[in-house]
Amino acid sequence: MGSDQQASATRRRPGPRRILSEEVIVAAALRLLDERGAEAVSIRGIAAELGVAPNALYTYFPDKAAVLRTLVDRLIGEHDAEALADVGRPWRERVHELALGLRARLLAHPGAAALLLGAPMDGPQALLLGERLFALLAEAGLDDDVAVHAGYVLIVYILGAIALEAAELDPARPAPPEAERIAARRAGFAALPADRYPRTAAGADTIAAYIGTGQFRWGLERVLDGLTHPDSAGRRSRAL
Amino acid sequence: MGSDQQASATRRRPGPRRILSEEVIVAAALRLLDERGAEAVSIRGIAAELGVAPNALYTYFPDKAAVLRTLVDRLIGEHDAEALADVGRPWRERVHELALGLRARLLAHPGAAALLLGAPMDGPQALLLGERLFALLAEAGLDDDVAVHAGYVLIVYILGAIALEAAELDPARPAPPEAERIAARRAGFAALPADRYPRTAAGADTIAAYIGTGQFRWGLERVLDGLTHPDSAGRRSRAL
DNA sequence: TCCGAATCTGTACGGCGTACAATTTGTACC
DNA sequence: GGTACAAATTGTACGCCGTACAGATTCGGA
């Protein structure tokens, strides 16, 4: 007692210097994910990428799932907080920026999108993104609680869109241009037997477009309409 | 030539009688999924469950992924087509039934929800569900193309809600009662550091409720509002 | 100086999906 | 009725996987 040991959080630990860091491990994992797909992201694969024995990673992360959770959360966190907080810009525009940014960052790493959908969005960066969305909606004039309601419906919509779009992508390689993906999807739906799936086949153009940015924005506008139009306010009390 | 062999599709194949069927394999897989979680659903595990060598399954399905795809599609298909088509009932009510039913069927098998989100919804039953949704919206008075637009926004919302809710569940065991899950989630959010996540901590009650049926319905109403309110019609042309 | 904690490595275990080569079982044709 | 051949199942094997465990090594602190 009385010894002036530093706070244990910052004190240098005994033992050999660490060769790696959480950052380089996550970076290696993301590289593998992008270049060789979700199945290539293994503890052994990451270790090989880093020139290290597989077990070395277990001093940085308790298990493989923790590596993947961290990877996804970092990806969520790469947003432009300043632009979202700029009260000089119309709030709908800022909501679009947040939504489009999150969607784009995840779809740029198709394997990561699948990971996002399999685990709760409860990492520090995910929570911060939520804070920014709620704050943005509150600035737009919504009461604090209403802002949280609206924010969550938006998050549900964004998650759904990411799920829909990521399901079409090969997690082993970067996404082809959007127009190309839409065209492929359109061809697939148009080729369905029209006697069994008449509306789907006839609506192939529309359906195919829903994995694209244009329809994502359009749907986002409709959801925002539903959340802000006059009738909606009175029904808010029907929340559970 | 001239021999009266039956159509090759129905002709009995040579070789020993098949001891299994796609049905029993999928059923065994679902049983494992529910009782022991996603990781327990392995080719070897299913085969053991059926008292058969692992490789026996490969005459019924080309690989493990095909088993899982089939499993999810069957689950999607277990809806009440007649109730959805009953034009005597208000269309909003029927949309709710379709959405709530799909959500409930998938969340009843938490592991299956994760599978749904990882692959395109392009199985025969998924396509039929789409047909029914589109038809329902068309009966509600929407033009055919508008019905497809609206149907897809609804599907995105439903997918997002399933993703949000399934992420909280332990895929190894049945979901606890909803109230219990919401309470646990509320406690988690309320315990966050209020200095860093003020709005999230303050809105814990609201946020927690979003994994529940009540908020699912409320959000669904808002999305339907956005898709049908007067301003929306004029903006439809902004679709990509 | 030496204790003990923190790294990292080597090895090993039990699991996985599935390819390959028998073996068995049935149909179809001579 | 015999026989060729296709289909179903099994046994075995390969190369992966996550990670537990037991050293060996390296450092900070007393």
What's the pLDDT at B13? 77
What's the pLDDT at B11? 62
When CB atoms are compared, the residue of B118, B227, B239 closest to A167 is B118
> Rounded to whole angstroms, how far apart are CA atoms B187 and B205?
9
Residues B200 and B95 both lie in one domain: yes
Q: Is the CB of A5 under 7 A from strand D?
A: yes
Question: Does residue A73 form part of some domain?
Answer: no
Residues B92 and B171 both lie in one domain: yes
Task: Given the cut 0.90, state whether the ipTM is greater than it.
Answer: yes
Q: Which nucleotides of C are covered by protein (CB under 7 A)?
A: 4-11, 15-21, 24-29
Residues A123 and A164 both lie in one domain: yes
State the count of interchain CB pairs (< 8 A) between A and B.
203
Q: Check pLDDT > 80 for residue A49.
A: yes
CATH of the domain at B49: 1.10.10
Q: Is the CB of B77 under 7 A from strand C?
A: no
**pLDDT, mean of residues A125-143:** 95
Residues A166 and A53 both lie in one domain: no
Question: Does residue B8 form part of some domain?
Answer: no
Q: Is the CB of B59 under 7 A from strand C?
A: no
Residues B199 and B93 both lie in one domain: yes
Contact B218 A225 (CB under 8 A): no
Question: Does residue B104 form part of some domain?
Answer: yes
Q: Check pLDDT > 90 for residue A2.
A: no
**pLDDT, mean of residues A128-141:** 95
Residues B41 and B110 both lie in one domain: no
Nucleotide C6, nearest residue via CA and C1': A15
* DSSP-H helix ranges across A78-229: 81-85, 91-107, 110-118, 124-139, 144-166, 178-190, 198-202, 204-209, 213-228
What's the pLDDT at B57? 98
B187/A contact by beta carbon, under 8 A: no
Q: Is the CB of A9 under 7 A from strand C?
A: no
Environment class of residue B78 by beta-carbon count within 10 Å: exposed (0-12), middle (13-18) or buried (19+)?
exposed
> Rounded to whole angstroms, how far apart are CA atoms A205 and A212?
12
Residues A57 and A86 both lie in one domain: no
Question: Does residue B162 form part of some domain?
Answer: yes
Residues B139 and B226 both lie in one domain: yes
Q: Check pLDDT > 50 for residue A201.
A: yes
Residues A144 and A206 both lie in one domain: yes
How many independent structural domains does chain B possess? Answer: 2
What's the pLDDT at B183? 97
**CA closest to B112 among chain A residues:** A118
Q: Which residues of chain B fall below pLDDT 70?
A: 1-12, 230-240
Question: Does residue B223 form part of some domain?
Answer: yes
**pLDDT, mean of residues A142-161:** 97
What's the pLDDT at A165? 96
What's the pLDDT at B14? 79
Q: Nearest 10 degrees: CA dihedral of B175, B224, B77, B90?
A: 110
CA of B48 and C1' of D10: distance in angstroms? 14
Instruction: Write the pLDDT tens digit of every residue in A54-86.
Output: 999 999 999 999 999 999 999 999 999 999 999
Residues B43 and B152 both lie in one domain: no
**pLDDT, mean of residues A25-54:** 96
Environment class of residue B161 by beta-carbon count within 10 Å: exposed (0-12), middle (13-18) or buried (19+)?
buried
> Rounded to whole angstroms, how far apart are CA atoms A133 and A127?
10
> Rounded to whole angstroms, how far apart are CA atoms B157 and A188?
23
Query: Containing domain of residue B220, as a range?
Result: 80-238
What's the pLDDT at B12? 67
Question: Does residue B85 form part of some domain?
Answer: yes
Contact B164 A156 (CB under 8 A): yes
**pLDDT, mean of residues A120-137:** 96
CATH of the domain at B206: 1.10.357.10
How far B23 CA lies from chain A's nearest CA (Å)?
A: 23
Contacts of B11 (CB under 8 A, 6+ apart): B5
When CB atoms are compared, the residue of A119, A155, A203 closest to B134 is A203
Q: Check pLDDT > 60 for residue A118.
A: yes
How far A223 CA lies from chain B's nearest CA (Å)?
A: 5
Write out residues 19-38 of B within 8 Å (CB-CB) of A.
Answer: none
Q: Is the CB of B44 under 7 A from strand C?
A: yes
